[in-house]
Structure 1
Amino acid sequence: MPTGTAQPTQTTSRTPRGMRALSSEAIHQRILAAIMEHKLPPGTQLVEERLARIFSVSRTKVREAIGRLVHDRIATNIPNRGAFVSSPTADEAREVFFARRLIEPNLVRTVAQLATPRHIQQLRAHVAREAEARTTPGREHELITLTGDFHILLAEISGNSFLVRTLRELESLTALIILLYDAPDEQHCAHDEHPRLVDAIEARDGERAALLMHTHLEHVEHSLKLEPPESSEVDLESVFA
C-alpha cells in the first residue's frame, strides 16, 4: 500500500479484562426487559453503534439481538433509518381485540362440545404452567407467551386449521400490545380466568364458556393503558447503566 494512504477504520468494542462478552441472546433479553419495564417506549430507536458501545460487544451481536426483536414484531426495521421499538396505535390494538371477541367466544363454544378427556388434561397442564410462571420472578415475558398459547391450544382442539393460523397471528399482535401498553399496576390476565374456562369446557357448557371468553378478552383490553406514547428521546446509556 502506498505510503500515506489512510488505513480503513473499523468500529470495535472491547470487553474489560476479566469480564465475559455478552452473547446476542443476553443482549436480546436485556433490551426486551427494558421494553417490558417501559424504559424503552414505543418509537425508541435501537441504535446499533450506541448499543454495541454500551454492552462492549460487536455491532454484529447487537444486530443479531435486534433481528430477533424484529422477527417477533417487537421492533420494526425501517429502511434507511434503522430499527425502532414497534408502536401499534391504540386504534390498532382495539381492532385486534374486537376481532378476537368476534372469533373466540364461538370458538370456545365449539371446543366445549368437542373436547375429550385428553384435551381437558392438556388444558389443565397448560394452566398449571401458567400458574408456575405467574409466581416465579423474572418470568413475566414467558407468562405472556403461555397465556397466549392457551388460546392457540383451544383453536387446535377445534380442529380448524384456518382458525389456528388466525389465532397465531392475533396472539402475536396481542403479545406485542401487552408488552408495550401493559399498565404497570394491572394484571392483563387474572389468575382464575383460564381455569374457569377449562371448567366450563369440561362441563360441556358452551354458553358459559363463550360468556367467560368474551369477559376475559374485555378484561385484557381494559387492563391496558391504550394511550398514544409520549414522544421523547431516550438516553440508552442511562437505561442500561
Structure 2
Amino acid sequence: MSDQTGVSVQQIVEKVWLSIAERRLRPGVQLKEEQMATIFNVSRARIRQALALLQRDGLVAIIPNRGAFVCKPSVEEARDVFFVRRTVERCVVERLCKGISKADIKRLRDHVAKERIANTQDITTDIIKLSGGFHLLLAETVGSDFLFATMRDLISRSSLITAVYRNTNRFNCGPDEHAEIVEAIVGNDADRATHLMAHHLEHVESELDLTEIRDLSHDLRAALA
C-alpha cells in the first residue's frame, strides 16, 4: 500500500501518544500494522517507523513474532519514573537559575500563557500537549542534548503512567504552578525554583492511584479516531 495521505510519521506518533494520554487507548492493546495503516491511510512501512519511535519513547513494546503493544507500566516503574523526574528536573531548574536569556524567558512566559488559554477553554488535547511541553521546554532551554533527550523519554513515560493510574479525569499539571517556577528562575532563586518544582511533581504524583491498571478502550479504531 502506498501512502495516500499527507499524514507523517510524527503525526502518527503524536496521535497514538495523545490517545494514550487522553485515556482512550489502554495498556496492553495490540497496535496492528495493517489496521493502523488503514486508519491513517498510509503504508505499513510508515506505521513501522512510527511504532519504532513509540518504542524508543517507552510507550510501545515490540515483541518478535507477536507485534506491537501499548506498554503496561508497573507500580514500581511509575514510582521510579517520578523519582528520576524529580532528580533531573531539579538539575534543570538549578542550571537555568544560573543564567537565562531574555528570549528564553519570553518563550517560557508565552508557553504558560498558551497553557492558560487551553485551561480556560478546557481543550484537553492542548492541555496535555502544553503541560508536558513546558517541562520539555525547560530542558531544551538548558541547551543540553542529554537533558533534553532524557526529559523527552521521562515525559512520554509519565504520560503513559498518568493515563493508566490517574484517579481523576482532570489532567492537572497546571499553568499557575508553571508560572511560579518560571518567575523563580527569572529571579535566579534556585532554592525557591527547586522547591516549587518538587512540590509541583509531588502534586502530579499525588493524583495517581498506584494500586491498579484501569480498564481503558480495546478498540484501536475508536481510540485513534
TM-score, structure 1 as length reference: 0.70
- How far apart are 1:43 and its partner, in Å? 0.7
Counterpart selection for 1:169 from 134, 153, 159: 153
- How far apart are 1:75 and its partner, in Å? 2.7
- How far apart are 1:170 and its partner, in Å? 1.9
Letter in 2 for 1:157: T
Q: Which sections of structure 2, spanning at least 5 residues, go unmatched?
A: none
- Compare relative contact order (CA 8 Å, sep 6+) and give the higher one, 1 or 2: 2
Which runs of structure 2 are paired with 1:37-56 in the superposition (5 Å)? 37-48=22-33
Distance in structure 2 (CA, Å) of the matches to 1:62 and 1:32: 19
Q: Is the 8 A contact 2:51 2:68 kept in 1?
A: no
**Higher percent of residues as helix:** 2
Distance in structure 2 (CA, Å) of the matches to 1:161 and 1:101: 18
Confirm whether residue 227 of structure 1 aligns to residue 211 of structure 2: yes
- How far apart are 1:139 and its partner, in Å? 4.8
Counterpart selection for 1:207 from 191, 207, 212: 191
TM-score, structure 2 as length reference: 0.74
Distance in structure 2 (CA, Å) of the matches to 1:137 and 1:65: 31
Distance in structure 1 (CA, Å) of the matches to 2:14 and 2:80: 29
C-alpha change, 1:81 and 1:195, in structure 2 (3 Å) is same
Distance in structure 2 (CA, Å) of the matches to 1:64 and 1:44: 20
Confirm whether residue 77 of structure 1 aligns to residue 62 of structure 2: yes
Q: How many residues align?
A: 218
Q: Which sections of structure 1, spanning at least 5 residues, go unmatched?
A: 1-11, 13-20
Identity within the alignment, % = 38
Q: Is the 8 A contact 2:25 2:217 kept in 1?
A: no
| CA RMSD of superposed structures (Å) | 3.6
Q: Is the 8 A contact 2:181 2:193 kept in 1?
A: yes
Larger-gyration structure (1/2): 1
User: What SS is found at the alignment partner of 1:227?
Assistant: coil
Distance in structure 2 (CA, Å) of the matches to 1:38 and 1:108: 30
Distance in structure 2 (CA, Å) of the matches to 1:179 and 1:82: 22
Q: Which residue of 1 aligns with 2:132?
A: 148
User: What SS is found at the alignment partner of 2:98?
Assistant: helix
Distance in structure 2 (CA, Å) of the matches to 1:65 and 1:237: 14
